[in-house]
Amino acid sequence: NAGVTQTPKFQVLKTGQSMTLQCAQDMNHEYMSWYRQDPGMGLRLIHYSVGAGITDQGEVPNGYNVSRSTTEDFPLRLLSAAPSQTSVYFCASRPKGQPANTEAFFGQGTRLTVV
């Protein structure tokens, strides 16, 4: 099993550009989430999904869109990149019956710089 795979690992964007961060998992997990990690701060939830066709906003959703057309994929779209979106982005997944409801599987992250 590959687990949770994120692409790309690194990306530099110009202000105003759009792009999609990819996340795929091969464990048939119902729940998937996107987080951003900024220096001196803990992870913050951007968007999450409890199953195909269902998405919802997390703590910091502005400037991002998501969709969940399949169980495996949960792409994160930046509509018009801003320097404030410079961050490390993590995708996570877990099965519906995960003990303690904890995020258990994280991707390796995408380091995004917006100039």
Binding site for other proteins (CB under 8 A): 4, 31, 33, 40-45, 48, 50, 56, 58, 90, 92, 99-104, 106-109
Smallest distance, Å, CB 23 to other proteins? 11
| Beta strand 4-7 pairing with 19-25 | antiparallel
In this complex, which beta carbon is closest to other proteins, that of residue 81 or of residue 105?
105
In this complex, which beta carbon is closest to other proteins, that of residue 48 or of residue 74?
48
Smallest distance, Å, CB 56 to other proteins? 7
Smallest distance, Å, CB 102 to other proteins? 5
Instruction: Give the residue from 78, 96, 70, 76 showing the smallest Cα distance to 23.
Output: 76
- How far apart are the C-alpha atoms of 54 and 66, rounded to whole Å? 10
Burial of 48: CB neighbours in 10 Å, binned 0-12, 13-18, 19+ = buried
